[in-house]
Amino acid sequence: MKNSILLVYFLFLVFASASCKEDDTMTVNVRFNEQAGYAPQELSSWAHAMFIFDNHSCTGLEMAPDQASLKDMSIEAGNRATVIAYESDKNLNFGKVGSGSASTDYYVSLKDINGDIPQIWMQHTPLNEATNGFAMKPLTSVITVNLLNAPETFEQISFSLPDMTDALYLSSGKVEALNTIQDKQITIKSGESGIKKAVFPMLKTDGSWVLTYNLKLQDTTLEGTLEVSKGIKAGQTLELNVDFSKYLSESLYTLAYRYTAYHADLWTEQKEEFFRLWPGDDTFKDKNKYYNVYVLQDKRWKTVDVRNTLCSDGPRHHAEIWNDWDNSKMLRDTMCYANFIDEFNGPVKIRVEKRTGGKFSSFQVRPSSYGIQPVECAKNTIEFTLPDWESRKVSVEFDGDRYHNLFLFPNRPDTNKPDVTASNVKYYGPGEHHTGSITLLENETLYIDEGATLYAEKLFVRGNNVTITGRGILSGEKNRHWGEDYANGDILMSVQGQGVGLKNFTLSGITIIDSPSWAVAIWNTDNVMIDNINLICWILNGDGIDLCSVAGATVKDSFIRTYDDCITLKVRFNNDPETDTKDVLIQKCIIWCDYARGIIIGPECGDWTWGTGGISNCLIEDCIVLEQSNGDGDFRAALSAVQQEQHGGGAAPMRNITFRNILIDDIQPTGRPICVEQTQQKNGCTMEDILFQNITIIDKSGCRYKSTVVTNNSWISRLTFDNITYNGAKIMGEGDHLQIQGNAEVFYK
């Protein structure tokens, strides 16, 4: 429609003789003023029409097949003029075509809004402002549709432009809908890339609107929408670019809408990626109220099962929910988690669509040390890549909200799945299973398979060589949640070697949700392995993992969120006997404490006056603390080592405790990073060889509470802070970030 070099004409109407003649007529002479490089070169060959109006009627009308044929006009009256040039009249309908009728009877409209629309240029002006002439400008806009890298299966794509005008009222120069408001349909078929379509302006040009598309491939039809910030105005250059360059590799295509003023190069663009869900890959789409999660596998995006669970907002509601054991006040929040299986042979792409709360302004994927940089790729949707197996468990957070966030718990296929038909295997396959108490005896295995949710009242371990494993979910949400001063609900998983002592307990691979009390409690058991579990618990006193008089234990590669302590090592008064807790490794865990303590050595630590056990030889390394929200007393902190007596004398010794290579990743401003404390005791106690090494504290909002060391009437020997940094600055003594009270021998490196 335009040559590569545009010769632009301005059409001027001037009065060569504006004086009244004897018959009281005026002559309007027509001349043109050319301005190169603006209007289409072919505009001069288009049909032209000139309309003169007074306040009530059309006083003059001239129509010509081209610009050169437009003649001077004699009129008796008039105060404004409209001139139009139109590429074709095949899809146009004129109202009145002779002068003398009411002004409102003069319009040019579309016969069929979905037919080919000719380009129309125009100018409307008062005659008394036309002494220097007036320039023609485009009324219609031109959309170019480009198909990039279209697959062989592409057939056509149709776009729907809503609320379009289809009539130009010539006396006012305004566009409106002639009868009813209609949508404009544009269809582009295979081989038509680059085609141009003219359109009238929209009724509303300032507000946002929704572009709808229908994409037909040989084997499917895909539909979607793109929100555009501004409506189509008169005289714009528009582009619709559909890019299929990722379709074969990710079943993904991009739709971009671009616009600028005619003859300008100041483009505004709205762009969004869309992907095809193949049959069977859409099982969980829109099943969850809050999130859709997709994982890219085998060049296809697949939906993931997203589940809800409760969490507790300690900073806002702790005082109100302290004794609200069953959530009757409805003050707990709903977060989500998603389990899925992937081989993790390389990086894994993830998409998360937030379905509630409207448009978000910020988003992040933590831990920050993973270096994951999410991008907004579609409406309410972000995309990011899990770089490797070691960096797979993450928290997805929108607008800084940590109580309606999403945890991702990916897993690999279980290559060590037992024979589920064996007599010593209790097997629960995909689906929901409601059971009473389950007791595991010598050499037994409980297997909760992928896709299974086991609602168990209680799970007892009462034998050696017991394994609980799988890829499914163990949930206590159906159990009674109640309490008095403390939670009195049943411990969900109880490994009790009291009185007899147990050996060789393994817990791996599963997700544990909503225990009515402690989630995993292990007493008097040697050789414990907890590997790659996920745990979320909202109730007060709802510890995650309690190791009580346990020797030789490992907890690794686990993600734990609780309201009380996430992982705690104890020697309690109800152990039988109260033997040492020793030789414990906590490694590569992600910790999220909504109120109390992240990882705590203690606080219950036996009693030397009774000859009961202490805590020794514990290594906590390569862990990340994502949250700890309250550091106001009671030795609450991200990392704690605390001695508290059990029988009124003095706590048993605590020795050789090391925290190293740990990131405290921007916990709440009400949190506290580190607490080392000996509680007030009758006879005092001793703590020796406590090392904090390579502890990185990232704090974006300013922790209200300093890290603390408190001895009361006891003694700490050889407490070492080696390379402890707070926002990059090394802590080398007391100050803004560390406070020491009592008898402590402290070294800094």
Question: Has residue 30 been placed in a domain?
Answer: yes
Residue 697 lies in a domain: no
Phi–psi pair at 560, nearest 5 degrees: -130, 125
- What's at 234, amino acid-wise? A
Q: Is residue 52 part of a domain?
A: yes
Q: Give yes or no for residue 38 having a pLDDT over 90.
A: no
Quote the number of domains for the chain.
4
pLDDT band at 10 (very low <50, low <70, confident <90, very high): very low
Kindly report the CATH number assigned to the domain that includes residue 529: 2.160.20.10
Q: d(Cα 383, Cα 349) in Å, to the nearest integer? A: 7
Q: Is the pLDDT of residue 1 over 60?
A: no
Q: Is 730 helix (H, G, I), strand (E, B) or coil?
A: strand
Residues 124 and 184 in one domain: no
* Residue 132: per-residue pLDDT: 66
Strand, helix or coil at 316? helix
Q: 397: domain CATH number? A: 2.60.350.10
Residue 147 within a domain? yes
Give how far Cα 659 sits from Cα of 245, 468, 563, 721, Å. 49, 28, 22, 10
| Average pLDDT of the residues in 496-501 | 87
pLDDT at 384 over 70: yes
Regarding whether 177 and 110 lie in a shared domain, the answer is no
Asked whether residue 747 is assigned to any structural domain, the reply reads: no
Contact between 427 and 449 under an 8 Å Cβ cutoff? The reply is yes
Which residue matches tokens 């050996």?
Answer: 503
pLDDT at 207 exceeding the cut of 80? yes
Q: Domain boundary at 411, 435, 453, which? A: 411
247-256, 351-360, 432-441, 647-656: the lowest-pLDDT one? 647-656
Residue-level pLDDT at 271: 94
Cα 730 from Cα 231, distance rounded (Å): 55
Task: Work out the pLDDT band at 8, boundaries 50, 70, 90.
Answer: very low
Tokens for 85, please give them: 């040039």
Whether 131 and 145 share a structural domain: no
Q: How big is the chain by its Cα radius of gyration, in Å?
A: 37
Is pLDDT larger for residue 549 or for residue 499? 549
Residue 678 has pLDDT above 90, yes or no: yes
Pair (566, 431) in one structural domain: yes
pLDDT tens-digit map of 427-483: 999 999 999 999 999 999 999 999 999 999 999 999 999 999 999 999 999 999 999
Domain shared by 536 and 674, yes or no: yes
Q: What pLDDT does 683 receive?
A: 86
In a shared domain, residues 85 and 151: no
In this structure, is residue 341 part of a structural domain? yes
End position of a domain, from candidates 356, 388, 411: 411
Q: What is the 3-state secondary structure of 636-679? A: CCCEEEEEECCCCCCCCCEEEEEEEEEEEECCCCCCCCEEEEEC
229 within some domain: yes
pLDDT at 475: 98
pLDDT given for residue 22 in this prediction: 44
User: Does pLDDT of 697 surpass 60?
Assistant: yes
Name which residue leads in pLDDT, 72 or 435.
435
Q: For residue 366, give both structure tokens.
A: 């933590």
User: What pLDDT, on a 0 to 100 scale, did the predictor assign at position 315?
Assistant: 85
Q: Are residues 540 and 679 in the same domain?
A: yes
Residue 7 — very low, low, confident or very high, per pLDDT cuts 50/70/90? Answer: very low
Could you tell me which residue, 539 or 30, shows the higher pLDDT?
539
Separation CA 695–CA 723 (nearest Å): 7
Neighbouring CB atoms inside 10 A of 182's CB total 18
pTM: 0.88
pLDDT-based confidence at 319, cuts 50/70/90? confident
CATH of the domain at 169: 2.60.40
What lies within 8 Å, CB to CB, of 531 at 6+ separation is: 506, 507, 508, 509, 554, 555, 556, 557, 558
Give pLDDT tens digits for 141-174: 999 999 999 999 999 999 999 999 999 999 999 9
Q: 30 and 109 in one domain?
A: yes
Mean confidence (pLDDT) of the chain: 93
Residue 18 above 50 pLDDT? no
Q: Which residue has the higher pLDDT, 23 or 601?
A: 601
Residues 450 and 359 in one domain: no
* Cβ 294 vs Cβ 408: under 8 Å: no
Specify whether the CB–CB gap between 526 and 372 falls below 8 A: no
737 within some domain: no
Clarify whether residues 378 and 338 are in a common domain: yes
> Domain check: are 257 and 226 in the same one?
yes
Separation of alpha carbons 97 and 108, rounded Å: 10
Please state, in angstroms and rounded to a whole number, the distance separating the CA atoms of residues 537 and 432.
20
Query: Are 580 and 525 contacting, i.e. CB atoms less than 8 angstroms apart?
Result: no
Residue with tokens 């800084």: 400
* 628 has pLDDT over 50: yes
Within 229-285, strands assigned E span: 236-243, 252-261, 268-275
Domain of residue 186, residue span: 141-275
pLDDT class of 425 with cuts at 50, 70, 90: very high
The pLDDT, as a whole number, for residue 31 is 66
As a whole number, mean pLDDT of residues 204-230 equals: 96
Do both 474 and 528 map to the same domain? yes
Query: Last residue of some domain: 86, 120, 138?
Result: 138
Output the pLDDT for position 130.
66
Of the candidates 471, 507, 509, 504, the residue with the CA atom closest to the CA atom of residue 492: 507
β-bridge pairing 445-448 and 425-428: parallel
